[in-house]
A and B are shown apart, each in its own frame.
Chain A
Amino acid sequence: MDAHAALTEEHFIQREPYYEPVANEIAIFEAAYRNKLPVLLKGPTGCGKTRFMEHMAWRLKRPLITVSCHDDLTASDLVGRYLVKGGETVWVDGPLTRAVRVGGICYLDEIVEARKDTMVVIHPLADDRRTLPMEKLGQILEASDDFCLAISYNPGYQSVLKDLKQSTRQRFVALEFDYPDTDLERRIVANESGVDPALADKLVKFAQMTRNLKGSGLDEGASTRLLVHAGKLMAGGIDPVVACQSAVAQAVTDDPDMLAAIQELSSSLF
C-alpha cells in the first residue's frame, strides 16, 4: 500500500479507533465540546489519553491536530512564523493556528514540557474569548465554532518545574485518567494485541507487579500501552519472558538491578 499524505487539518479519522470507556469521560467531553469549553486530560503515561482524543475526533467528526510538546517548543512553533522563500518572507501558519482556522481539535500533548511562553498563547483561546492573537501578523484570529482545545498533563512527575500554573489549569474542564481496572485492562490488552485472554491476564498481573515497585526504584509502573506492546510481541511468537523484558522492563528503567528484578518477576509468572 502506498503511503498516503494529507494535510493534518483535512485529515478525518475514518475508522473508529478502539477505545474502552472507563467512566463517563465520553459524555463529559461531548458536553464540554458543545459548550465550547477546553479540556484538560490528566493521567500517567500510556493510560489511553491520546487514544481517547483520537476516538473523540472520530466521534465528533473533526480533524485532530496533535502537537507533542517538548522543552524547546516555543509560541512561534504553535502560532506560525515567517519563512524565507525565494528572497521574500512568507508567513506560515503553525498547527494551532490551522486548527483554529478550520475548526479542528487541537491536542497539546504533555503541555508542561513546553516553554512557559507557549502557555500564554493558549490562554485567550481557553476562555470565553476563544481568540488567537498573532502578534507578528498584527491580527487576532477568532476561533471557528467547531474548534476545540485539549491539553494533557501528567501530574506524576513530581517536579516543581513541571507543574501546571493555576492560571492555566483553572480554564479547563479536567478529565482524570488512570490505568483501567483489571478486567478492563485485560480486555484492552487482549483486543489490542491479539493474545488470548489467559495470556492477557498474566500480562496484567505482571503490570501490577511493576506498579508495586513504583516509588521504590521505578518512577512509573508499566503502562497499558507497554502491555499491548509486549502482547503484540508474544502474539508474534516471541517468548513471554523475552517480550516482557524488551517491551516493558527496558522501557521503564535502565537500572541493572531493577532490570534483573523485573526479569525475575516475569520469569516467575510465565
Chain B
Amino acid sequence: MPEALTRVEIEALLDVWLETEFTFHQVGPVARALCRLERGDQDFVLDWIKRIATTHITLAFHFSKRAPDMLNRLDRRAIEAWAVQLCDTYDRAGMYAALAVADKASGFIQTRHAHAAGALFDDTAPVLGNFVRGLSGRALKLDQGEGCFTDSERLILPALFARFETAQDNFKLAKATVAFLWAQTRWGTFRADIQAACAAFDHPDRALNQFLGLETLRLTARLARELPGLAREMERLRHLAGDRLPEDWARHQAHLSRPEATAEDSLALLPQVYEHPDFQTWCYAGELRPGAVAECMAARMDTEKARLRVKLAQLEEELRQRAGRDSPGEAKTPATFEAEAQDQDGSLDFEITLDGAPIAPPDDVKQLLTSVWLDFGHIPPEYLVPAGDGEYDPRLYEEQPEDPDAVWQGTYHEKGALFYPEWDMGRQHYRKNWCVMREKSVAPVHDDFYRQTLDRYSGLIRHLRRGFEAMRDENRLMKRQVYGDDVDIDALVEALADSRDGREMSDRLFTRMHRAERNIAVAFMVDMSGSTRGWINEAEREALILLCEALERLGDRYAIYGFSGITRKRCELFHIKHFHEPYDDTVQARISGIRPQEYTRMGFAIRHLSKLLNEVEARTKVLITLSDGRPDDYFDVYRGAYGIEDTRMALLEARRAGVHPFCITIDKEARDYLPHMYGPARYIILDDVGQLPAKVADIYRRITS
C-alpha cells in the first residue's frame, strides 16, 4: 500500500480544491485529521471532497470537516450515500437545506457500531416498493425524505438504515418499517382523530408518542396474525435493538392484541398510559405525523368521491345499455348501488350490487372502493350515488395535462412535467430530477414545402423508394429444407438418383415458406437549436421528408421528435410524429413547421426517447440523432465537457436498455468528441449541409440492414 499523505500534502490539495485563497476556509484542522488516516481512506475522502467541490465549495468544506469522524463509524458505501444526499439536497433546496443535512450528520448515522453496513434507500426501494404493493390495500409509494412516516399515500423513509451492524439486518429493519407503516394505513390508525385527541393533553407530543406505543402493540399483534413470518423477523429485530415492553403495558398489550381491536381502543387507553413513563419507540415504528395524513386525506377525499361517483355512473350506463333498457323517452329511475366489503383473513374484497343484482366491479372501481374503505372503515352511502350529468368538474376526477406554454405565463411551476436525471462529471454521480422536460407539438405549417421538396428531389426519391423496397424482407419459399410443408420434388429426384448411384442420400427434401418480418422501430431526434437557423434547418426538413417517403415503403415503425431547450428548467421535446401516427398531411405540415428554437441540451432528449423506444415492441430499436454541433446550453455548465459527458452517459444508458444510437452531424469539429460520445462507427459526419437530404435515407438503409 502506498504511504499515507502528509499533512502538508493534503493541505496543498485542499488549498486548490477549496480555493482557500479566496474562500478563507480553514483547512488546517481537516488536513490534520486526514493525515492520521490510512492511505485508502484518505483517497476516498479526498476524492469526495474534490467531487463535491465541483458542486459547491462550501459544501465540500463542511463534508471534509465531518468525514474523518464518520469513517470511524460507517462503512464507505454509507458515507457515499451521505455525500450524495448532501449534493442532492443542495440541488433541490439550496445551500441552507444542504448545510442542515451536514449538521444532522449524526442523525443520519443512527448507529452504534463501527463501520456499520447500512441499507441504502436507493438499493432497497425497488424491492420494498414491490413488496408493499404486493400486500393488499391502497397502492403506496416509497419516497426518500426526512423522517420515517406515512402520509397515507406515500411511505417516507430515510436515506439509510444503519441501526444494526450487518446489511442484512438493516434491510430487514427497512422491510419491517415499511410493513409497519403499511399496517397503519391498512388497519385504520388514521381513522381515529389523532390530532384532536392529543391536543386535549397538556403535552400533545407526549400523547402522540404514547399513542404510537399503543398502536405499535395493536399493529404488531395484527401483523403477527396476518404475516407470521414477518412477525418472527420483527421479534428478532426488537431483541437485537433491545426494545422492551414498559412495565404496566402488558395488560394493554393483551387488550390491543384482540382481533377486533381498533385505533379507537388505543385512543381510549391513551388517558391511562399518558400517566405511564414514556414508551421508547420500537425500532421499526417510525413516527406518526397526523398533520401530513390529514392534509393528504383532505385532498384525496373529494377527488375520490367524484371519481367513484362518475365511474359508477359510467358503469350504470354500460349495464343499462347491455340490458337494452335505455329507451330515450323513459325517465331514468335513480339506480342504487350497494357495496359490501369483505375484510377477512387479511384480504380485502368488494361485492357491489346494482338494484339488488350483483355485478363484478372493474379493477379501477375496486381500487377506489379500497381506498375509500381504508379511510372510513365502510363505504359512505353518498359515495355510492352515481353522478348526474355535469355534476362534477372534470378537473376533480381526471388527470389534467398541463398546457406547456401556460407554465411560462404565470409563476413558474413544475406540475405536469417529466423529470430526468443528469450526469454530473465532476461529482461522478447523477443529479436527480435535474431536467424539467415537457413534450410539445410542432405547430403545423401548411405551405407547399412538401411539394417543393418532392419536386426538387423527384429523381432521388424514386431511387430511394426502389432501394427501400428491395430491403423489404418478404415471404419466400425456401428449398431443400430438412423439414417443411411440402416435398421438394427436385431435391427428391436428385436424392433418389444419388441413392441409385450408391451415394449418400440427402435429407434436405422439403420446401418451407419463410415468413420474415422486418421488426425495427426507429426514433429520429432532430436538433432544433438556434444554431440550425437557415440552411441547416431547411436541409433537416428536406431530409426528414425524403426519409419519411422512403420509410413508408419499408414499413418500419418510426417516430420523429425535435429537441431544444434553455436551461435545465425548460427542456422541450417537440413532437413531430409518434410511432403510431400515420404519415399524413399533418405530419408533413409539422415537418414544414420545424423552426430553430433555443439551445442543445441533449441528455434529457436521449433519455426520453429511449424510454419511448422501449415501450414499442420491436426486435431492433434505433435512435438516430440529426445534429449540427456539440451539446450546449445557455449560461450553464452544460457547455463543454460536462455536456459531452452527460450525453455520453445518456447514450450508454440507452445502449444498456437495448437501443442502438447513431448520430448524423454536420459539425466539422465533431471528430473531437463524437467517437467518445457514440463510440467508433456509430456516427457520420457530413462535410456539406447540402448532402444531408440525399444522405440521411441512405445512411439509414446502411445501418439497419
Give the shortest distance, in Å, between B220 (CB) and chain A (any CB).
Answer: 13
Give the shortest distance, in Å, between A199 (CB) and chain B (any CB).
Answer: 12
Contacts of A74 in B (CB 8 A): 485, 513
Q: Contacts A81-B486, A205-B345: A115 and B133 contacting too (C-beta < 8 A)?
A: no
B229 within 8 A of A: yes
User: Complex Cα distance A201/B347, Å?
Assistant: 11
Contacts of B133 in A (CB 8 A): 212-213, 216
Contact between A258 and B347 (Cβ–Cβ < 8 Å)? no
Contacts of A201 in B (CB 8 A): 345
Give the shortest distance, in Å, between B241 (CB) and chain A (any CB).
Answer: 19
Contact between B229 and A269 (Cβ–Cβ < 8 Å)? yes
Q: Contacts A87-B496, A212-B134, A212-B136: A136 and B486 contacting too (C-beta < 8 A)?
A: yes
B555 within 8 A of A: no
Contact between A81 and B346 (Cβ–Cβ < 8 Å)? no
Secondary structure at the B interface, as helix, strand, loop or mixed, is helix
Q: Which residue of A lies closest to B360 (CB)?
A: A178
Contact with A258, one of B130, B233, B513 (Cβ below 8 angstroms): B130
B227 within 8 A of A: yes
Contact between B487 and A82 (Cβ–Cβ < 8 Å)? yes
User: Complex Cα distance A261/B133, Å?
Assistant: 9
Q: Which residue of A lies closest to B135 (CB)?
A: A209
B179 within 8 A of A: yes
A2 within 8 A of B: no
Residues of A53-91 whose CB lies within 8 A of B: 74-76, 81-84, 87, 89
Contact with A241, one of B127, B134, B229, B496 (Cβ below 8 angstroms): B229
Contact with A261, one of B130, B179, B227, B496 (Cβ below 8 angstroms): B130
Q: Which residue of A lies closest to B137 (CB)?
A: A212
Q: Contacts A136-B486, A216-B133: A260 and B179 contacting too (C-beta < 8 A)?
A: no
- B130, B131, B175, B229, most chain A CB atoms within 10 A: B130
Contact between B127 and A257 (Cβ–Cβ < 8 Å)? yes
Give the shortest distance, in Å, between B698 (CB) and chain A (any CB).
Answer: 30
A24 within 8 A of B: no
B126 within 8 A of A: yes
**Binary A-proximity of B178-189 (CB < 8 A = 1, otherwise 0):** 010000000000
**Binary B-proximity of A228-270 (CB < 8 A = 1, otherwise 0):** 0000000000000100000000000000011011101111111
Contact between B126 and A269 (Cβ–Cβ < 8 Å)? no
Contacts of A89 in B (CB 8 A): 487, 492
- B126, B139, B499, most chain A CB atoms within 10 A: B126
Contacts of B81 in A (CB 8 A): none
Q: Which residue of B lies closest to A260 (CB)?
A: B127
B230 within 8 A of A: yes
**Binary B-proximity of A194-229 (CB < 8 A = 1, otherwise 0):** 000000010001001110110011000000000000
Contacts of A167 in B (CB 8 A): none
Contact between B486 and A268 (Cβ–Cβ < 8 Å)? no
User: Complex Cα distance A136/B504, Å?
Assistant: 29
B626 within 8 A of A: no
Contacts of A168 in B (CB 8 A): none
Contact between A209 and B486 (Cβ–Cβ < 8 Å)? no
Give the shortest distance, in Å, between B329 (CB) and chain A (any CB).
Answer: 33
Contacts of B135 in A (CB 8 A): 209, 212, 265
Contact with A76, one of B136, B233, B485, B617 (Cβ below 8 angstroms): B485
Q: Which residue of A lies closest to B488 (CB)?
A: A84
User: Complex Cα distance A132/B335, Å?
Assistant: 51
Contact between A265 and B127 (Cβ–Cβ < 8 Å)? no
Contact between B227 and A268 (Cβ–Cβ < 8 Å)? yes
Contact between B134 and A261 (Cβ–Cβ < 8 Å)? yes
Contacts of B513 in A (CB 8 A): 74
Contacts of A139 in B (CB 8 A): none
User: Complex Cα distance A76/B617, Å?
Assistant: 29
Contact between A82 and B486 (Cβ–Cβ < 8 Å)? yes
Contacts of A75 in B (CB 8 A): 485
Give the shortest distance, in Å, between A254 (CB) and chain B (any CB).
Answer: 14
Q: Which residue of B lies closest to A115 (CB)?
A: B515
A14 within 8 A of B: no
A182 within 8 A of B: yes
- A76, A205, A257, most chain B CB atoms within 10 A: A257
Residues of A96-113 whose CB lies within 8 A of B: none
Contact between A84 and B485 (Cβ–Cβ < 8 Å)? no
Give the shortest distance, in Å, between A138 (CB) and chain B (any CB).
Answer: 14
Q: Contacts A76-B485, A81-B485: A210 and B134 contacting too (C-beta < 8 A)?
A: yes
Contacts of B179 in A (CB 8 A): 268
Contacts of A182 in B (CB 8 A): 345, 347
A159 within 8 A of B: yes
User: Complex Cα distance A265/B139, Å?
Assistant: 15
Q: Which residue of A lies closest to B485 (CB)?
A: A76
Give the shortest distance, in Å, between A82 (CB) and chain B (any CB).
Answer: 5
B128 within 8 A of A: yes
Contacts of B380 in A (CB 8 A): none
B509 within 8 A of A: yes
Q: Contacts A84-B487, A115-B515: A265 and B131 contacting too (C-beta < 8 A)?
A: yes
Contact between B346 and A205 (Cβ–Cβ < 8 Å)? yes
Q: Contacts A159-B617, A270-B228: A257 and B485 contacting too (C-beta < 8 A)?
A: no
User: Complex Cα distance A198/B227, Å?
Assistant: 13
Q: Contacts A136-B486, A159-B617: A267 and B131 contacting too (C-beta < 8 A)?
A: no
Contacts of B129 in A (CB 8 A): 261
Contacts of B127 in A (CB 8 A): 257, 260-261, 264
Q: Which residue of A lies closest to B125 (CB)?
A: A257
Q: Which residue of B lies closest to A208 (CB)?
A: B347
User: Complex Cα distance A221/B424, Å?
Assistant: 39
Q: Which residue of A lies closest to B512 (CB)?
A: A74
Q: Which residue of A lies closest to B234 (CB)?
A: A268
Contacts of B485 in A (CB 8 A): 74-76, 81
User: Complex Cα distance A159/B133, Å?
Assistant: 25
**Binary A-proximity of B587-631 (CB < 8 A = 1, otherwise 0):** 000000000000000000000000000000100000000000000
Q: Which residue of B lies closest to A261 (CB)?
A: B130
Contact with B131, one of A81, A264, A270 (Cβ below 8 angstroms): A264
Contacts of B487 in A (CB 8 A): 82-84, 89
Contacts of A216 in B (CB 8 A): 130, 133, 139
Residues of A28-75 whose CB lies within 8 A of B: 74-75
Give the shortest distance, in Å, between B657 (CB) and chain A (any CB).
Answer: 14
Contacts of B617 in A (CB 8 A): 159, 161
Give the shortest distance, in Å, between B578 (CB) and chain A (any CB).
Answer: 15
Contacts of B233 in A (CB 8 A): 267-268
Contacts of B136 in A (CB 8 A): 208-209, 212
Give the shortest distance, in Å, between A161 (CB) and chain B (any CB).
Answer: 8
Contact between A205 and B347 (Cβ–Cβ < 8 Å)? yes
**Binary A-proximity of B513-553 (CB < 8 A = 1, otherwise 0):** 10100000000000000000000000000000000000000
User: Complex Cα distance A169/B139, Å?
Assistant: 36
**Binary A-proximity of B483-506 (CB < 8 A = 1, otherwise 0):** 001110000100010010000000
Contact with B229, one of A83, A209, A267 (Cβ below 8 angstroms): A267
User: Complex Cα distance A205/B136, Å?
Assistant: 10
Q: Which residue of A lies closest to B127 (CB)?
A: A260
User: Complex Cα distance A117/B269, Å?
Assistant: 73
Give the shortest distance, in Å, between A239 (CB) and chain B (any CB).
Answer: 11
Q: Which residue of B lies closest to A211 (CB)?
A: B134
Contacts of B345 in A (CB 8 A): 182, 201, 205
Q: Which 5 A-B pairs have the closest CB atoms?
A: A261-B130, A268-B230, A257-B126, A209-B134, A76-B485
Inter-chain pairs besides A82-B486, A261-B126, 8 sampled, C-beta below 8 Å: A87-B496, A159-B617, A182-B345, A213-B133, A216-B130, A216-B133, A261-B134, A267-B230
Can you show 28 pairs from A to B with CB atoms below 8 A apart? A74-B485, A74-B513, A81-B485, A81-B486, A82-B487, A84-B487, A84-B492, A84-B509, A87-B496, A87-B499, A159-B617, A208-B136, A208-B347, A212-B134, A212-B135, A212-B136, A213-B130, A217-B130, A257-B127, A261-B126, A264-B127, A264-B175, A265-B134, A267-B229, A268-B227, A268-B233, A269-B228, A270-B228
Interface residues of B (CB under 8 A from A): 126-131, 133-136, 139, 175, 179, 227-230, 233, 345-347, 485-487, 492, 496, 499, 509, 513, 515, 617
